[in-house]
Structure 1
Amino acid sequence: MIRRKFTGLLLCSAFAMSCAHAESSQTKTITLQDLSTEQSVGHVTVSESDHGLVFTPNLSGLTPGIHGFHVHENPDCGTAVKEGETIIGGAAGSHYDPENTNNHGYPWSEDAHLGDLPALYVAQDGTAATPVLAPRLSLDDIDARALIIHAHGDNYSDTPKPLGGGGKRVACGVIDFDKQSHS
Protein backbone atom coordinates (compact mmCIF):
# COMPACT_ATOMS: atom_id res chain seq x y z
CA MET A 1 0.00 0.00 0.00
CA ILE A 2 2.81 2.43 0.84
CA ARG A 3 4.50 1.72 -2.50
CA ARG A 4 1.25 2.46 -4.41
CA LYS A 5 0.71 5.66 -2.48
CA PHE A 6 4.35 6.70 -2.84
CA THR A 7 4.18 6.12 -6.61
CA GLY A 8 1.01 8.18 -6.66
CA LEU A 9 2.78 10.88 -4.67
CA LEU A 10 5.51 11.13 -7.28
CA LEU A 11 3.02 11.18 -10.14
CA CYS A 12 0.75 13.71 -8.47
CA SER A 13 3.71 15.88 -7.51
CA ALA A 14 4.69 16.03 -11.16
CA PHE A 15 1.15 16.52 -12.35
CA ALA A 16 -0.56 17.89 -9.24
CA MET A 17 -3.02 20.09 -11.08
CA SER A 18 -4.37 17.19 -13.10
CA CYS A 19 -4.58 15.02 -9.95
CA ALA A 20 -6.60 17.70 -8.23
CA HIS A 21 -8.99 18.20 -11.09
CA ALA A 22 -9.26 14.85 -12.84
CA GLU A 23 -9.68 12.67 -9.74
CA SER A 24 -11.54 14.99 -7.41
CA SER A 25 -14.90 13.89 -6.12
CA GLN A 26 -15.24 16.68 -3.53
CA THR A 27 -13.43 19.93 -2.89
CA LYS A 28 -13.39 22.16 0.16
CA THR A 29 -11.82 25.56 0.73
CA ILE A 30 -9.93 26.72 3.81
CA THR A 31 -9.30 30.45 4.33
CA LEU A 32 -6.03 31.29 6.08
CA GLN A 33 -5.05 34.42 7.96
CA ASP A 34 -1.72 35.90 8.96
CA LEU A 35 -1.50 35.27 12.69
CA SER A 36 0.26 38.55 13.46
CA THR A 37 -2.02 40.87 11.44
CA GLU A 38 -5.21 38.75 11.31
CA GLN A 39 -5.46 39.67 7.61
CA SER A 40 -6.36 37.05 5.01
CA VAL A 41 -3.45 35.54 3.09
CA GLY A 42 -5.79 33.63 0.77
CA HIS A 43 -7.14 30.12 0.71
CA VAL A 44 -6.24 26.47 0.17
CA THR A 45 -8.56 24.22 -1.81
CA VAL A 46 -8.54 20.60 -0.68
CA SER A 47 -9.58 17.90 -3.15
CA GLU A 48 -9.96 14.16 -2.78
CA SER A 49 -7.98 12.05 -5.24
CA ASP A 50 -7.25 8.36 -5.69
CA HIS A 51 -3.89 9.06 -4.05
CA GLY A 52 -5.02 11.05 -1.00
CA LEU A 53 -5.81 14.73 -0.51
CA VAL A 54 -4.46 17.42 -2.81
CA PHE A 55 -3.94 20.79 -1.07
CA THR A 56 -3.89 23.56 -3.71
CA PRO A 57 -2.84 26.92 -2.25
CA ASN A 58 -3.83 30.33 -3.57
CA LEU A 59 -1.90 32.41 -1.04
CA SER A 60 -0.03 35.73 -1.02
CA GLY A 61 1.84 37.97 1.39
CA LEU A 62 4.02 35.17 2.75
CA THR A 63 7.79 35.11 3.24
CA PRO A 64 9.51 33.47 0.23
CA GLY A 65 10.99 30.01 0.70
CA ILE A 66 10.00 26.64 2.09
CA HIS A 67 7.58 26.48 5.02
CA GLY A 68 6.38 23.72 7.30
CA PHE A 69 2.73 22.96 6.45
CA HIS A 70 0.62 20.82 8.77
CA VAL A 71 -2.86 19.83 9.85
CA HIS A 72 -3.16 20.53 13.59
CA GLU A 73 -5.52 18.83 16.02
CA ASN A 74 -7.87 21.65 17.10
CA PRO A 75 -10.15 23.91 14.99
CA ASP A 76 -8.85 27.08 16.66
CA CYS A 77 -6.28 29.63 15.49
CA GLY A 78 -6.18 31.61 18.73
CA THR A 79 -3.26 32.08 21.08
CA ALA A 80 -2.45 29.68 23.90
CA VAL A 81 -0.10 29.70 26.85
CA LYS A 82 2.23 26.73 27.17
CA GLU A 83 4.73 26.50 30.03
CA GLY A 84 4.27 30.22 30.66
CA GLU A 85 4.95 31.21 27.04
CA THR A 86 2.28 32.78 24.80
CA ILE A 87 2.14 30.96 21.47
CA ILE A 88 0.41 32.68 18.57
CA GLY A 89 -1.79 30.05 16.91
CA GLY A 90 -1.12 27.71 19.84
CA ALA A 91 -4.81 26.92 20.37
CA ALA A 92 -4.56 24.77 17.22
CA GLY A 93 -2.65 22.28 19.36
CA SER A 94 -0.11 19.81 18.06
CA HIS A 95 0.20 18.17 14.66
CA TYR A 96 -2.78 15.87 14.10
CA ASP A 97 -1.62 12.47 15.42
CA PRO A 98 -4.62 10.19 16.13
CA GLU A 99 -2.40 7.09 16.36
CA ASN A 100 -0.19 8.78 19.01
CA THR A 101 2.99 8.07 17.06
CA ASN A 102 4.68 11.09 18.69
CA ASN A 103 6.88 11.13 15.60
CA HIS A 104 7.27 13.88 13.00
CA GLY A 105 8.04 12.48 9.56
CA TYR A 106 7.28 12.26 5.87
CA PRO A 107 3.64 12.59 4.77
CA TRP A 108 3.70 9.01 3.46
CA SER A 109 5.33 7.48 6.57
CA GLU A 110 3.01 5.15 8.46
CA ASP A 111 4.88 5.89 11.72
CA ALA A 112 4.49 9.70 11.60
CA HIS A 113 1.85 12.27 12.51
CA LEU A 114 -1.11 11.99 10.16
CA GLY A 115 -1.11 15.80 9.91
CA ASP A 116 2.41 15.99 8.44
CA LEU A 117 2.09 17.50 4.97
CA PRO A 118 4.68 18.17 2.26
CA ALA A 119 6.42 21.51 2.74
CA LEU A 120 4.78 24.58 1.21
CA TYR A 121 6.78 26.45 -1.44
CA VAL A 122 6.40 30.24 -1.49
CA ALA A 123 7.76 32.08 -4.56
CA GLN A 124 9.91 35.24 -4.42
CA ASP A 125 6.79 37.40 -4.84
CA GLY A 126 5.26 35.93 -1.65
CA THR A 127 2.70 33.74 -3.42
CA ALA A 128 2.11 30.03 -3.00
CA ALA A 129 0.30 28.11 -5.73
CA THR A 130 2.08 24.73 -5.95
CA PRO A 131 -0.21 21.86 -4.86
CA VAL A 132 0.96 19.22 -2.39
CA LEU A 133 -0.31 15.67 -1.90
CA ALA A 134 -1.13 14.07 1.46
CA PRO A 135 -1.40 10.36 0.61
CA ARG A 136 -2.73 9.17 4.00
CA LEU A 137 -5.47 11.75 4.53
CA SER A 138 -9.15 11.96 3.64
CA LEU A 139 -11.55 14.89 4.00
CA ASP A 140 -13.08 13.21 7.06
CA ASP A 141 -9.65 13.19 8.75
CA ILE A 142 -9.13 16.94 8.46
CA ASP A 143 -12.63 18.24 9.28
CA ALA A 144 -12.73 20.16 12.59
CA ARG A 145 -8.96 20.75 12.60
CA ALA A 146 -6.65 23.66 11.69
CA LEU A 147 -4.23 24.15 8.80
CA ILE A 148 -0.98 25.86 9.85
CA ILE A 149 1.90 27.42 7.92
CA HIS A 150 5.14 27.69 9.91
CA ALA A 151 7.88 30.32 9.58
CA HIS A 152 10.63 27.92 8.49
CA GLY A 153 11.09 24.78 6.41
CA ASP A 154 10.48 21.16 7.34
CA ASN A 155 13.10 18.40 7.36
CA TYR A 156 10.47 15.70 8.14
CA SER A 157 12.30 14.68 11.31
CA ASP A 158 12.45 15.51 15.00
CA THR A 159 16.23 16.06 14.80
CA PRO A 160 18.12 18.29 15.01
CA LYS A 161 15.02 20.36 15.93
CA PRO A 162 11.59 19.03 16.95
CA LEU A 163 8.74 18.96 14.43
CA GLY A 164 10.99 19.46 11.41
CA GLY A 165 12.33 22.82 12.59
CA GLY A 166 9.31 24.74 11.25
CA GLY A 167 9.36 27.23 14.10
CA LYS A 168 6.61 29.66 14.95
CA ARG A 169 3.16 29.57 13.38
CA VAL A 170 2.64 32.38 10.86
CA ALA A 171 -0.70 31.59 9.20
CA CYS A 172 -3.70 29.50 10.17
CA GLY A 173 -7.11 28.47 8.89
CA VAL A 174 -9.86 26.62 10.74
CA ILE A 175 -11.15 23.61 8.85
CA ASP A 176 -14.92 23.45 9.34
CA PHE A 177 -16.77 21.67 6.55
CA ASP A 178 -20.12 22.02 8.34
CA LYS A 179 -20.03 25.74 7.49
CA GLN A 180 -19.46 24.98 3.79
CA SER A 181 -21.92 23.60 1.31
CA HIS A 182 -21.00 20.19 -0.10
CA SER A 183 -19.58 20.35 -3.59
Structure 2
Amino acid sequence: MLKWIGIFVLATVVLSGCMDEKRSPLETSIYNTNDDKIGTATFKERPEGIEVALKVEGLEPGPHGVHIHEFAKCDTPDFKSAGNHFNPMSKDHGLMNSEGAHAGDMPNVEADGSGLVDTELMLPEATLKEGQKSLLRKEGTSIVIHSGPDDGMTQPAGDSGDRIACGEITLKADDDETSDPTEPDKKQE
Protein backbone atom coordinates (compact mmCIF):
# COMPACT_ATOMS: atom_id res chain seq x y z
CA MET A 1 0.00 0.00 0.00
CA LEU A 2 2.82 2.46 0.86
CA LYS A 3 4.43 1.65 -2.47
CA TRP A 4 1.27 2.78 -4.35
CA ILE A 5 0.99 5.95 -2.29
CA GLY A 6 4.63 6.75 -3.07
CA ILE A 7 4.05 6.20 -6.80
CA PHE A 8 0.95 8.41 -6.70
CA VAL A 9 2.82 11.23 -4.92
CA LEU A 10 5.75 11.01 -7.34
CA ALA A 11 3.40 11.05 -10.36
CA THR A 12 1.58 14.10 -8.97
CA VAL A 13 4.86 16.00 -8.49
CA VAL A 14 6.08 15.12 -12.00
CA LEU A 15 2.77 16.13 -13.61
CA SER A 16 2.68 19.39 -11.64
CA GLY A 17 6.17 20.24 -12.89
CA CYS A 18 5.09 19.55 -16.47
CA MET A 19 2.10 21.86 -16.12
CA ASP A 20 4.32 24.73 -14.96
CA GLU A 21 6.68 24.13 -17.90
CA LYS A 22 3.76 24.67 -20.31
CA ARG A 23 3.08 28.02 -18.66
CA SER A 24 6.55 29.43 -19.31
CA PRO A 25 7.54 30.77 -21.74
CA LEU A 26 4.16 31.99 -22.94
CA GLU A 27 3.87 34.18 -26.04
CA THR A 28 0.94 36.56 -26.41
CA SER A 29 -0.01 38.35 -29.63
CA ILE A 30 -0.68 42.08 -29.34
CA TYR A 31 -3.28 43.83 -31.50
CA ASN A 32 -4.04 47.49 -32.18
CA THR A 33 -7.49 49.13 -32.17
CA ASN A 34 -7.99 48.10 -35.84
CA ASP A 35 -7.50 44.46 -34.76
CA ASP A 36 -4.17 44.21 -36.62
CA LYS A 37 -1.40 42.19 -34.99
CA ILE A 38 1.44 44.59 -34.18
CA GLY A 39 3.74 42.37 -32.11
CA THR A 40 4.17 40.01 -29.19
CA ALA A 41 4.87 39.82 -25.49
CA THR A 42 6.70 36.76 -24.22
CA PHE A 43 6.32 35.94 -20.52
CA LYS A 44 8.97 33.83 -18.74
CA GLU A 45 8.89 32.70 -15.13
CA ARG A 46 12.10 33.74 -13.34
CA PRO A 47 13.08 33.48 -9.65
CA GLU A 48 12.64 37.27 -9.30
CA GLY A 49 9.22 37.37 -11.05
CA ILE A 50 8.01 37.33 -14.64
CA GLU A 51 10.27 38.61 -17.39
CA VAL A 52 8.28 40.26 -20.21
CA ALA A 53 9.96 40.54 -23.62
CA LEU A 54 7.89 43.12 -25.48
CA LYS A 55 8.29 43.63 -29.21
CA VAL A 56 5.70 45.77 -31.03
CA GLU A 57 5.65 48.17 -33.97
CA GLY A 58 3.36 50.87 -35.29
CA LEU A 59 3.23 52.99 -32.13
CA GLU A 60 3.64 56.76 -32.02
CA PRO A 61 7.29 57.54 -31.22
CA GLY A 62 7.83 58.36 -27.56
CA PRO A 63 6.91 56.96 -24.14
CA HIS A 64 3.94 54.67 -23.50
CA GLY A 65 2.47 53.22 -20.34
CA VAL A 66 2.17 49.43 -20.31
CA HIS A 67 0.26 47.42 -17.71
CA ILE A 68 -1.23 44.04 -17.04
CA HIS A 69 -5.02 44.29 -16.80
CA GLU A 70 -7.40 42.02 -14.89
CA PHE A 71 -9.34 40.28 -17.69
CA ALA A 72 -8.27 38.32 -20.78
CA LYS A 73 -10.51 40.40 -23.05
CA CYS A 74 -9.26 42.71 -25.77
CA ASP A 75 -12.44 43.95 -27.44
CA THR A 76 -11.87 46.75 -29.94
CA PRO A 77 -11.98 49.64 -30.40
CA ASP A 78 -11.04 50.76 -26.86
CA PHE A 79 -9.97 47.59 -24.97
CA LYS A 80 -12.00 48.64 -21.91
CA SER A 81 -13.09 45.00 -21.71
CA ALA A 82 -9.62 44.29 -20.23
CA GLY A 83 -10.83 45.90 -16.99
CA ASN A 84 -8.64 47.64 -14.43
CA HIS A 85 -4.98 46.99 -13.67
CA PHE A 86 -4.13 43.54 -12.33
CA ASN A 87 -4.09 44.22 -8.58
CA PRO A 88 -4.62 41.01 -6.55
CA MET A 89 -3.13 42.53 -3.37
CA SER A 90 -5.35 45.68 -3.45
CA LYS A 91 -2.47 48.17 -3.51
CA ASP A 92 -2.45 51.71 -4.89
CA HIS A 93 -1.23 52.40 -8.42
CA GLY A 94 2.23 53.55 -9.35
CA LEU A 95 5.83 52.41 -9.31
CA MET A 96 6.71 55.71 -7.58
CA ASN A 97 3.91 55.40 -5.02
CA SER A 98 5.05 54.41 -1.53
CA GLU A 99 1.70 52.62 -1.05
CA GLY A 100 1.90 50.87 -4.46
CA ALA A 101 2.28 49.34 -6.80
CA HIS A 102 -0.24 47.14 -8.56
CA ALA A 103 1.17 43.73 -9.49
CA GLY A 104 0.47 44.72 -13.12
CA ASP A 105 2.35 48.05 -13.06
CA MET A 106 5.46 48.20 -15.26
CA PRO A 107 7.87 50.96 -16.31
CA ASN A 108 7.04 53.02 -19.39
CA VAL A 109 8.40 51.83 -22.72
CA GLU A 110 9.89 54.07 -25.40
CA ALA A 111 8.90 53.67 -29.06
CA ASP A 112 11.76 54.72 -31.33
CA GLY A 113 11.41 57.05 -34.32
CA SER A 114 9.91 54.25 -36.43
CA GLY A 115 7.37 53.31 -33.72
CA LEU A 116 9.18 50.13 -32.62
CA VAL A 117 9.44 48.93 -29.03
CA ASP A 118 11.85 46.06 -28.39
CA THR A 119 12.54 45.76 -24.66
CA GLU A 120 12.42 43.55 -21.57
CA LEU A 121 10.46 44.39 -18.42
CA MET A 122 9.90 42.67 -15.07
CA LEU A 123 6.78 41.92 -13.06
CA PRO A 124 8.32 41.15 -9.63
CA GLU A 125 4.94 40.68 -7.88
CA ALA A 126 3.41 38.26 -10.41
CA THR A 127 3.74 34.63 -11.48
CA LEU A 128 2.61 32.26 -14.22
CA LYS A 129 2.23 29.48 -11.66
CA GLU A 130 -0.99 28.75 -9.77
CA GLY A 131 -2.02 31.24 -7.09
CA GLN A 132 -3.52 34.61 -6.30
CA LYS A 133 -0.76 36.52 -8.13
CA SER A 134 -0.94 34.35 -11.27
CA LEU A 135 -1.48 36.11 -14.59
CA LEU A 136 -3.23 32.90 -15.64
CA ARG A 137 -5.73 32.64 -12.77
CA LYS A 138 -9.40 32.33 -13.74
CA GLU A 139 -9.55 33.00 -17.51
CA GLY A 140 -6.28 34.96 -17.60
CA THR A 141 -5.29 38.62 -17.87
CA SER A 142 -4.17 41.00 -20.63
CA ILE A 143 -1.28 43.29 -21.47
CA VAL A 144 -2.32 46.81 -22.52
CA ILE A 145 -0.25 49.58 -24.09
CA HIS A 146 -1.45 53.17 -23.63
CA SER A 147 -1.15 56.27 -25.83
CA GLY A 148 0.93 58.21 -23.29
CA PRO A 149 3.34 57.62 -20.43
CA ASP A 150 2.28 56.48 -16.95
CA ASP A 151 3.14 59.21 -14.43
CA GLY A 152 3.82 56.59 -11.74
CA MET A 153 1.46 58.11 -9.16
CA THR A 154 -2.01 59.18 -10.37
CA GLN A 155 -4.84 56.93 -9.21
CA PRO A 156 -6.13 54.61 -10.44
CA ALA A 157 -4.10 54.16 -13.64
CA GLY A 158 -1.26 56.70 -14.00
CA ASP A 159 -3.04 59.11 -16.37
CA SER A 160 -1.51 57.23 -19.31
CA GLY A 161 -4.17 57.96 -21.90
CA ASP A 162 -6.18 55.76 -24.23
CA ARG A 163 -5.64 52.04 -24.55
CA ILE A 164 -4.10 51.59 -28.00
CA ALA A 165 -2.94 47.95 -28.02
CA CYS A 166 -3.90 44.78 -26.17
CA GLY A 167 -2.94 41.10 -25.92
CA GLU A 168 -4.77 38.34 -24.04
CA ILE A 169 -2.61 36.36 -21.60
CA THR A 170 -4.09 32.87 -21.45
CA LEU A 171 -2.86 29.29 -21.63
CA LYS A 172 -4.08 29.28 -25.25
CA ALA A 173 -2.14 32.44 -26.18
CA ASP A 174 0.56 30.35 -27.90
CA ASP A 175 -2.09 28.97 -30.30
CA ASP A 176 -2.37 32.27 -32.24
CA GLU A 177 -0.72 31.64 -35.62
CA THR A 178 -1.18 35.17 -36.99
CA SER A 179 2.10 36.32 -38.54
CA ASP A 180 4.16 38.68 -36.41
CA PRO A 181 5.00 41.95 -38.22
CA THR A 182 8.09 42.46 -36.05
CA GLU A 183 9.72 39.28 -37.37
CA PRO A 184 11.21 38.83 -40.88
CA ASP A 185 9.00 36.87 -43.29
CA LYS A 186 10.53 33.39 -43.33
CA LYS A 187 9.05 32.65 -46.79
CA GLN A 188 11.16 35.42 -48.33
CA GLU A 189 14.42 34.29 -46.75
TM-score by length of 2: 0.70
C-alpha offsets along residues 50-76 of structure 1, whole Å, 9 cap, x if unaligned?
Answer: 221111112111111111100000110
Structure 1 or 2, whichever has the larger Rg, is 2
1:48 is displaced (CA, Å) by 1.6
Contact 1:107 1:117 in 2 (8 A): no
> 4+ residue runs of structure 1 moved beyond 4 angstroms?
107-110
Residue 18 of structure 1 is matched in structure 2 by none
Residue 87 of structure 2 is matched in structure 1 by 97
Residue 54 of structure 2 is matched in structure 1 by 57
Residue 4 of structure 1 is matched in structure 2 by none
CA distance in 2, matches of 1:107, 1:51: 19
Aligned runs of 1:30-179 on 2, under 5 Å? 30-35=28-33, 37-78=34-75, 88-101=78-91, 103-106=92-95, 111-140=100-129, 141-143=134-136, 144-158=140-154, 162-178=156-172
Residue 92 to residue 30, structure 1, CA distance change in 2 (3 Å): same
CA distance in 1, matches of 2:44, 2:97: 17
CA distance in 1, matches of 2:66, 2:72: 15
* Number of residue pairs matched by the alignment: 146
CA distance in 1, matches of 2:61, 2:88: 32
Contact 1:42 1:59 in 2 (8 A): yes
1:180 is displaced (CA, Å) by 3.6
**Runs of 5+ consecutive residues of structure 2 not aligned to the other structure:** 1-22, 176-189
TM-score by length of 1: 0.72
1:109 is displaced (CA, Å) by 6.6
Letter of the structure 1 residue corresponding to residue 82 of structure 2 = A
Letter of the structure 2 residue corresponding to residue 88 of structure 1 = D
**Runs of 5+ consecutive residues of structure 1 not aligned to the other structure:** 1-24, 80-86
Letter of the structure 1 residue corresponding to residue 95 of structure 2 = Y
Contact 1:108 1:134 in 2 (8 A): no
Percent of counterpart pairs with the same letter? 29
Q: CA RMSD in A?
A: 2.3
CA distance in 2, matches of 1:112, 1:133: 13
CA distance in 1, matches of 2:96, 2:151: 11
